[in-house]
Structure 1
Amino acid sequence: MSDPRIRFTISFTEPQAHYVEIEMDITDFTETTLDIGMPVWTPGSYLIREYERHVEVVEAFAGTDRIHCMKISKNTWRIQDPPLHTKIRYRVYGFEISVRTNMINVDRAFLSPSATFMYIKNRIDLSCTVQVILPEKWHHISTGLPKTANDEHTFYAENFDVLYDSPIEIGNQDIWYFEAAGVQHEFAMVGSGNYDKQQLTSDITKIIKEETAIWGENPNINYVFITHNYQTGGGGLEHLNSTVLGASRNAYQVPNAYKNFLCLIAHEYFHLWNVKRLRPKELGPFNYDEENYTTGLWIMEGFTSYYDNLVIRRCGFFSVQEYLDMLANDFNQVYNRPGYRIQSAALASFDAWIKQYRPDENSANTSISYYNKGAMLAVALDLYILTETQGTKRLDDVLRAAYRSFYKQENRGFYEKEFQTLAENVTGVNLSAIFEAAHSTEELDYNLYFNRVGYELIDLNRDRQELSLGIKIATQDGRTFIKNVERGSGAWDAGLNVDDELIAINGNRLDTAGKELEFILQNGQIDEIVDVLISRDGLIRTIHAPIRPSTKQQWCIREKPEATSIEKKIAEIWLSVSKYL
């Protein structure tokens, strides 16, 4: 008995109203019950996004005759006793600017496949084709899916995991091609921008070559960069042989902004190997109906966050100091969130589904980013391996061996303990302290690692005597509101709340520039009680709050004056420009 055949046809009769129409043809389905479903999340973005909420008018047909189609759960529709050939038609609304959601308008359409295409339940393994009916004034289609032999507007996916990992950009994007590391690359620029194609191509080629050298091979035949240009844009999402990026259209000629864009490219391209192929056991095959939990995102995203800046340094785009400043920012991001005492890197990974993409006014007090904390742990691993092996091994060697072992040879995901064991076998170094730190809120002494390469991690605020209430404020319509209260601060203990309107302190009316508050903090004494007049839900009250030393940290990484020649030699290996460029 042959497998069912699936063909999608997508069209746009009302793009100005942000709709795409989908027809799903299912042939040779012989079971008595046909259940079709819409994914509730998309790989790489660990949040239940409920894509089915944008689905409208699901209808089923046998030929031209409509047949009964019943919705049986939030994202599942059932057809009982379906014919051998069933057509399912539905519409999807898409009007959200992001790299992971549909955006359809009169000029173009970006389709996130998880938010667009339904699948036969329990048959993710089936192949399918996708035909795009272009509106009259749209001319281009950019996607990592291969074209079928007989139609340049029809694409093939060998299974639904591939389909859901292959976004589609349709419209009039600016497209150019280049070869790097033996792979054909397409760059699709959506919207205008002051980008320089020749410069981008040259710089991105260096990134691709360096990352391919790290991993030992490039697994693709072709790769697609889709970049959405906005007035203010950012973010990215990795895919199997493509990525979707957000950028600010007029920032390409601003040096710092351009380097940040190159970092974003380095990050998403690094995911070709780290997460898309080398992955924790839990991250594939996927269950698209619910959360897929793992404690390993600190390795997947954290290591990638470490390498994105490091690759930019190896390509020569960052000076040594620029790179060290970017690395120090990871420490600042973590240590200026009281949540680092509450949540480990592994727990942050596991809780991504409920915390990472749903920040609120208390998030800084309860959580950290596995991106930043993972990068901190990655640099500790890299430096420890470098120094313990006298510069003959580093984290590159671990990743390359893990890719070869778990993906190339065994074609499976890894358990974290397996990854640690492999890392120790490859390097001959006991790495247990760092891997254990990923599961603990007890902090490593990172200078144990930086000092060994002649550098030190310094908090520039360590000896400063700045005072603080422990609040962040914002002004709105000439009024000042509390937007964050720091755990353990005077404001926290006194009971000041987010959304309290600050009116006066010690009888002095606050100005919107914050000068009165600044004066009191600059001239106050530790544990001095100040009277804070607030409006809470329209009711006036006075809160008596102590001012205390500020906990804000400002980390930097500096070379030790007394660094030895051996330390400098290892540091040179760590920070060197690539030999492959």
Structure 2
Amino acid sequence: MKKILLLAAAAFFAFGGYAQTKVRNGLYYVVSFPNAAHHEAEITVTVPEIPENGPLRMRMSRSSPGRYATHEFGKNIYNVKAFDLSGKELDIKQVEGDVYEVAQHGTVVKISYTLFGNHTDGTYASIDASHAHLNMPAAFMWAVNKDIVSRQIKFEFNDLDKYGWKVATQLKHEGDNVYSAPDLQYMMDSPIELSNVKTNYWEVVNTNGKKQKVGIAVHSDDDQATIDNFAQMVKKLVLEEKAVFGEQPDYDYGTYTFLDDVHPTNFGDGMEHRNSTSIVDGSQKVAGNEKDLLGTYSHEYFHSWNVERIRPKSLEPFNFEHANMSNELWFAEGFTQYYGEMLLVRSGFNTVDDYTRTLGGLVNSVLAPPAPAKYPPTQMSRYAVFTDAGVAVDATNYTNIFTSYYVYGGATALALDLRLRSEFKITLDDYMRQVWLTYGKPGKPYTIPNLQEVLGKVTNPKFAASFFADYIYGVKKNNYEALLANAGFLLQKAAPGKAWLGRIPGKASNGGLLITGSTSSNSPAYKAGLDAGDTILQIDGKDVKDASSINDIIKDKKSGDKVSVSYKNRTGSHEGSIILEESPSVQVTTFEKTGKELTQQQKDFRSSWLSSKVK
């Protein structure tokens, strides 16, 4: 054992000169997987040309591109050590949970550590014998020092042949198993999938005549024929998205890659990056789940314009040391949500009838819950620092104070698109294209006033000022019923006249239903004083054992009926009453489904909106 360790140490220290030769003043990472079966990687990073007038500070990130809440990536690294070029171990101190400091050092320091990863999604790292799925902030320690942080970075991946892995990433391929990033910002935005990926790339000629490659790299239990067939579907979607903006971005190194990992043990996720996207799905295979996967592909690819290049100033540059708050996520994520779903109809993968469920969901998101009546999209955007895959062990009141900026923004985009079409004879595509040309293509970060200014240019300043005051900074709601009717869609109550008590989150306990979460402030249950911690025993004299019991009890009641309620909590037993109401939920159907005949004007409006734009 001692001899083996000496040989390993010799190889480790010999690497120092190699790294210096390869990267000059940049950082050089070597990633190995001797214990992949137990979800570990061994990582070394050589940091050359370190100024000697202060400590070297290395850290793990606490945030990740595309994620807006704080994440403690430092918890999954250990065995952290530091060495000089001669192999002498240096004193390294953990000065914060995710920050390490080498006070005494020469001009070159090598850091080594073990990374644990066993969570396959777009945010974390996952390692086993089948793959290494690496989101960069979750995997790689970096130098905080201001004269080091902007340097070039290279990665060398070992053990690829051992596991039969290939490298899929937007990092620049330097040759063999070495890849590079020009700086920390680009490196952190470049996820890596090491596995036996199956790929399919195709050429797309951009409007400027430049040829680029777009492709999929899929790690799944599918055969190549399935992947090739799926690639043809993705290709069709890519062209439909290009048609919105009139051109593709000029992708760095001429390639855009969908990195896709599909397996039942995965956690579903999609995470956009500048020239790639990380898509993780919990399906058994791609085969049979193509349409479900396309929804994520559609959303994430739209981000290669909106977010990655049409970039909020609040996220530029991205700070990896804490959560990144933005007022603009209603646009960055919400408008992308709208297009991601609508483009599935334009590209022929979803029918108009399929789309009615999406429309209903968007409209319900702003009309049914209590939060949108009180808080504007800007405030919901700021809440991302708590809600975007953030974890809390204490109870929250999100039921009453939060609505996702994805659907809030999506509903806002829907209304703006329909209003532009009906009031100005232009489309949201025209607006997005102008935002792209003004801010995205030249790489100028935008603010909300900038978005308002562009809307004023494609319509008029008065309309833009009113729209932003009412629907972006304010809580006014658009007339979705009238707007959707322009395209022959009927918006109506989901359960007119029927009794509704409100959603009761709970579980069976102590002979009744224990309410485990906040009741909605616009529900009859809330107005009757019921909330988390109460145990409902009876409603209308009938025992309540679970949530379905409530539905059975009130199914024959009408809006306005009053029922008795018996419940208990820490203050004792109580008797009360609940006045049932009509549910605020709505649904969208086509005129045809309700026996209404479409006018030619409605047919033309719907066709102009939802038909393919690929020429």
Would the TM-score normalized by the shorter structure come out above 0.5? yes
Shift of 1:428: 4.6
What SS does structure 2 have at the residue aligned with 1:522? coil
Indicate which of 166, 171, 190 corresponds to 1:140.
166
Partner of 1:67: 90
Change (3 A) 1:269 1:469: closer
Q: Matches of 2:282 and 2:473 in 1, distance apart?
A: 37
Partner of 1:217: 248
Q: Matches of 2:141 and 2:550 in 1, distance apart?
A: 58
Q: Is the 8 A contact 1:361 1:483 kept in 2?
A: no
Indicate which of 135, 138, 142 corresponds to 1:119.
142
Q: Matches of 2:272 and 2:292 in 1, distance apart?
A: 17
Q: Matches of 1:262 and 1:133 in 2, distance apart?
A: 33
Matches within 5 A, 1:235-250: 235-250=269-284
Change (3 A) 1:480 1:14: farther
Q: Is the 8 A contact 2:164 2:195 kept in 1?
A: yes
Q: Is the 8 A contact 2:506 2:546 kept in 1?
A: no
Matches within 5 A, 1:426-441: 426-428=458-460, 430-436=463-469, 437-441=471-475
In the alignment, residue 77 of structure 1 is paired with which amino acid?
Y
Matches within 5 A, 1:404-553: 404-409=437-442, 411-428=443-460, 430-436=463-469, 437-451=471-485, 453-456=486-489, 458-461=491-494, 463-468=496-501, 470-474=503-507, 480-484=513-517, 485-498=519-532, 500-512=534-546, 514-515=548-549, 518-520=552-554, 522-523=556-557, 526=560, 528-534=562-568, 541-553=573-585
Whether 2:366 is the aligned partner of 1:334: answer yes
Q: Is the 8 A contact 1:41 1:49 kept in 2?
A: yes
Deviates more, 1:23-32 or 1:380-389: 380-389
Q: Matches of 2:611 and 2:361 in 1, distance apart?
A: 20
In the alignment, residue 140 of structure 1 is paired with which amino acid?
K
Partner of 2:178: 154
1:512-534 per-residue CA deviation (whole Å, 9 max, x = no partner) reads 58346522453478362423345
Shift of 1:469: 5.4
Shift of 1:503: 4.3
Whether 2:48 is the aligned partner of 1:27: answer yes
Change (3 A) 1:251 1:7: closer
Q: Is the 8 A contact 1:339 1:365 kept in 2?
A: yes
Partner of 2:311: 279
Partner of 2:155: 130
In the alignment, residue 67 of structure 2 is paired with which amino acid?
S
In the alignment, residue 164 of structure 1 is paired with which amino acid?
M
Partner of 2:238: 208
Partner of 2:16: none
Change (3 A) 1:77 1:403: same
1:328-376 per-residue CA deviation (whole Å, 9 max, x = no partner) reads 2211233332222232111111121023434866322211111111111
Q: Is the 8 A contact 2:499 2:557 kept in 1?
A: no
Partner of 1:382: 417
Indicate which of 335, 354, 358 corresponds to 1:303.
335
Q: Matches of 1:425 and 1:96 in 2, distance apart?
A: 46
Shift of 1:66: 1.0
Shift of 1:420: 1.6
Change (3 A) 1:517 1:416: closer
Q: Matches of 1:305 and 1:219 in 2, distance apart?
A: 23
Q: Matches of 2:302 and 2:511 in 1, distance apart?
A: 45
Partner of 1:570: 605
Q: Is the 8 A contact 1:491 1:545 kept in 2?
A: no
Q: Matches of 2:202 and 2:371 in 1, distance apart?
A: 44
Q: Is the 8 A contact 1:304 1:375 kept in 2?
A: yes
In the alignment, residue 523 of structure 2 is paired with which amino acid?
S
Whether 2:214 is the aligned partner of 1:179: answer no
1:117-146 per-residue CA deviation (whole Å, 9 max, x = no partner) reads 122213442110011112522321211112
Whether 2:45 is the aligned partner of 1:45: answer no
What SS does structure 2 have at the residue aligned with 1:465? coil
Partner of 2:35: 14
Q: Matches of 1:476 and 1:185 in 2, distance apart?
A: 54
Change (3 A) 1:478 1:512: farther
In the alignment, residue 113 of structure 1 is paired with which amino acid?
M
Q: Is the 8 A contact 1:38 1:75 kept in 2?
A: yes
What SS does structure 2 have at the residue aligned with 1:431? helix
In the alignment, residue 24 of structure 1 is paired with which amino acid?
V
Provide the aligned C-alpha RMSD in A: 2.9
Change (3 A) 1:306 1:520: closer
Shift of 1:543: 4.7
Larger % of helix: which? 2
Whether 2:218 is the aligned partner of 1:198: answer no
Q: Is the 8 A contact 1:36 1:119 kept in 2?
A: yes
Report the count of equivalent residues. 569
Q: Alignment identity in percent?
A: 24
**Please, what TM-score do these two structures have when normalized by structure 2?**
0.85
Gaps of at least 5 residues in structure 2 are 1-22, 206-210
Q: Matches of 1:264 and 1:516 in 2, distance apart?
A: 36
Change (3 A) 1:286 1:3: farther
In the alignment, residue 187 of structure 1 is paired with which amino acid?
I
Gaps of at least 5 residues in structure 1 are none
Q: Matches of 1:289 and 1:8 in 2, distance apart?
A: 21
Q: Matches of 1:526 and 1:422 in 2, distance apart?
A: 47
1:473-520 per-residue CA deviation (whole Å, 9 max, x = no partner) reads 455999744344221434324443335554444553335583465224
Q: Matches of 1:25 and 1:477 in 2, distance apart?
A: 60
Change (3 A) 1:10 1:381: same
